[in-house]
Structure 1
Amino acid sequence: MKFIFAEGPSQGARVIGAMILSILLMVMDHRFHQTETLRSALTVFTYPIQYLAEVPSNIGRLVTEILQTRSDLQQSNDLLRKDNLKLKARLQQVEALQAENERLRDLLGSAYKIGNRVLVAELSAMDLDPFRQQIVIDKGSRSGVFEGQAVLDAHAVMGQVIHVSPLNATVLLITDVEHALPVQVLRNGLRTIAVGSGRIDQLDMPYLPNNADIRPDDLLVTSGLGGKFPPGYPVARVTDVKREPGKPFATVLARPLAQLDRTREALLVWEVSIPPEFPEEELAPQTDADKTGTEEAAP
């Protein structure tokens, strides 16, 4: 038997109400950051689910490694041994250059600071949105990670932390369309801005005039401006320069040097100091030169 009057709001009214509630929550989160505490609390409960989702891929990778042949492992060990020898030779040169740099700085009477404290983190997930270039690492606020912190891999700059929860953090890659990074050309010191293009293998530099001294194969490094990234870290290498008459700016493209689509580990960098809550035991060991430089830099 049908009722004469419908009970409760109609389906259309419910849908409209849900849409309005969703828009209000998005505005509160994006503009006023009212749900940061709730989001951080929810990530604690969703972390086991995220960990379980990674279990099949981890098991598959483990089985693949076990099934590798003995000859492949021997060949890999030989290559690693040769690379290790090359790196040791380069390390000797780096130590000599650091010692020479220290003597020159002492002559100039400037404060000396060597190296940056770093923390190794592993990638636990990546954003599946094709319009976003983000990854998730397994270190969070409990390890001292903070928003705006620089993230690198073994080759170059990867991006910066944009959201932190107790157990993990979200990193915005330098190729995201919302990311802009102050860089300079290593060859001549020309400063510019590298902007993400949305492609994992391309950066744009839209603010260089047509007569700018930049050419293909130029190396781009961080300039240190803005205070987010330490200066001197590799970022990208210029791949294409197009100058069209009548246009004020040249079209300059570059390829990131970091392996954004295949790396498994990342380095979190502290350039000057460590947040008070950061656990000392997780830091890379500090040398005597680091301590001396810190004391000299202190007022």
Structure 2
Amino acid sequence: MNSIFLRGPSLHIKLVFALALSAGLIVFDHVFDGFATTRVYLNSVVSPIQYLANLPSEMLNASASRLVSHQQLLEENAELQHDAVVLNGKLQRFVLLQEENDRLRRLLNTPVRGDIRKEVAELMAVDNNPYSHQIVIDRGAIQGVYEGQPVIDDKGIVGQIMQVGSTNSRVLLISDVTHAIPVRVARNNIRMIASGSGSLNELIIQHVPHSADIEEGDLLLSSGLGNVFPEGYPVAIITSIVRDEGRPFAQVNAEPVALLDRLKYLLLLWPNNLVGPEQSVPDTEQ
């Protein structure tokens, strides 16, 4: 009996045919480049599929990159904030040092007579008694400090030495109620006495006649009388004048030129005749 379905070529024959056909197509494409156009079309058709296949990997890579970048930014930001705090601290210290340097320069450049020795002192303490204006400085008998010695700052006269220890001294400010200093008006040399009022920003000018030629804004200088303060140093500026004919004298107030509430560095003055060989010190102006 004949079979209904005819049997085709065997698998071996099909394999040989396929290999021969593939080899022929490869040779044809290599020699004649016959499938170039076909490959372009096939690549165009397959490209979207390739993009879709690579999309999850690219998304994961982008997300990982963003996470890494965000973490790096956080770390850099924290580091920059730390550096900013450190630099601000150093800057504040530099500003303070600059201010102190400026004060010292102004202090050392204060004009003094050629026969006067000067030396810088630093504030150590302020008397806490509200009725007494006194301060303590870091210079004493070892440095040749003596009672009654004049003390100035870069603006003008501050006071005089009241007590002397071996390494520190107490200064009585010109604003103390027990202190008085002979002064003269820079404009016309009228002589007066400036006494402390108990307020750091006010002095009282005593026994001024109503007819005295003084005006608000006049600068008062040390007159040199009394042999305590050298002549010609700024003391105060007249701030108010009240001429009441019912009183024997005019009421005159002045504001100290020295910044008595902001003292830091001070200058001690020695007349030349008080500096012996054993007390000589290096010239602070150099």
User: If the TM-score is normalised by the length of the shorter chain, which range does it land in?
Assistant: 0.5 to 0.7
Percent identity, please: 41
- CA-atom RMSD in angstroms: 3.3
Residue matched to 2:122? 122
Residue matched to 1:181? 181
Deviation at 1:114, TM superposition (A): 2.6
Deviation at 1:276, TM superposition (A): 3.0
- Kept after mapping to 1: 8 A contact 2:183/2:223: yes
Residue matched to 2:202? 202
Residues 110-149 of structure 1 show CA distances to partners (whole Å, capped at 9, x for unaligned) of xxx7352101100100100000000000000000000000
Distance 1:274 1:282, change over 3 A: farther
1: CA distance between counterparts of 2:207 and 2:156? 22
- Kept after mapping to 2: 8 A contact 1:119/1:282: no
Residue matched to 2:263? 263
Distance 1:209 1:264, change over 3 A: same
What SS does the aligned partner of 1:187 have? coil
Distance 1:73 1:284, change over 3 A: closer
What SS does the aligned partner of 1:213 have? coil
2: CA distance between counterparts of 1:239 and 1:184? 15
Letter in 1 for 2:271: E
What SS does the aligned partner of 2:176 have? coil
- Kept after mapping to 2: 8 A contact 1:183/1:193: yes
- Kept after mapping to 1: 8 A contact 2:115/2:272: no
Residue 224 (structure 1) aligned with residue 227 (structure 2): no
Letter in 1 for 2:161: V
Deviation at 1:72, TM superposition (A): 9.6
2: CA distance between counterparts of 1:163 and 1:211? 40
What SS does the aligned partner of 2:142 have? helix
2: CA distance between counterparts of 1:208 and 1:155? 25
2: CA distance between counterparts of 1:147 and 1:238? 29
Q: How does 1:94-133 map to 2 (within 5 A)?
A: 114=114, 116-133=116-133
What SS does the aligned partner of 1:281 have? coil
Distance 1:278 1:131, change over 3 A: farther
2: CA distance between counterparts of 1:263 and 1:66? 28
**Structure of higher CA gyration radius:** 2
Give structure 1 stretches of 5+ with no counterpart. Answer: 1-64, 99-112, 287-299
- Kept after mapping to 1: 8 A contact 2:217/2:238: yes
Distance 1:248 1:170, change over 3 A: same
Distance 1:209 1:153, change over 3 A: same
- Kept after mapping to 2: 8 A contact 1:143/1:278: no
Q: Which has the higher strand share?
A: 2
Q: How does 1:40-59 map to 2 (within 5 A)?
A: none
Residues 1-47 of structure 1 show CA distances to partners (whole Å, capped at 9, x for unaligned) of xxxxxxxxxxxxxxxxxxxxxxxxxxxxxxxxxxxxxxxxxxxxxxx
Q: How does 1:18-37 map to 2 (within 5 A)?
A: none
Deviation at 1:153, TM superposition (A): 0.5
- Kept after mapping to 2: 8 A contact 1:121/1:137: yes
Q: How does 1:1-299 map to 2 (within 5 A)?
A: 67-68=88-89, 70=91, 114=114, 116-276=116-276, 279-284=279-284
1: CA distance between counterparts of 2:159 and 2:214? 24
Letter in 2 for 1:274: L
What SS does the aligned partner of 2:272 have? coil
TM-score, normalised to structure 1, is 0.59
1: CA distance between counterparts of 2:175 and 2:212? 23
Residues 48-78 of structure 1 show CA distances to partners (whole Å, capped at 9, x for unaligned) of xxxxxxxxxxxxxxxxx9854649958x97x
TM-score, normalised to structure 2, is 0.61
Deviation at 1:284, TM superposition (A): 3.4
Distance 1:66 1:199, change over 3 A: farther
What SS does the aligned partner of 2:247 have? coil
Deviation at 1:261, TM superposition (A): 0.9
Count of residues in Structure 1 that have an aligned counterpart in Structure 2: 197
Distance 1:257 1:285, change over 3 A: closer
Letter in 1 for 2:141: S
- Kept after mapping to 2: 8 A contact 1:142/1:278: no
Residues 187-230 of structure 1 show CA distances to partners (whole Å, capped at 9, x for unaligned) of 00000000000000000012101111111000000000000000
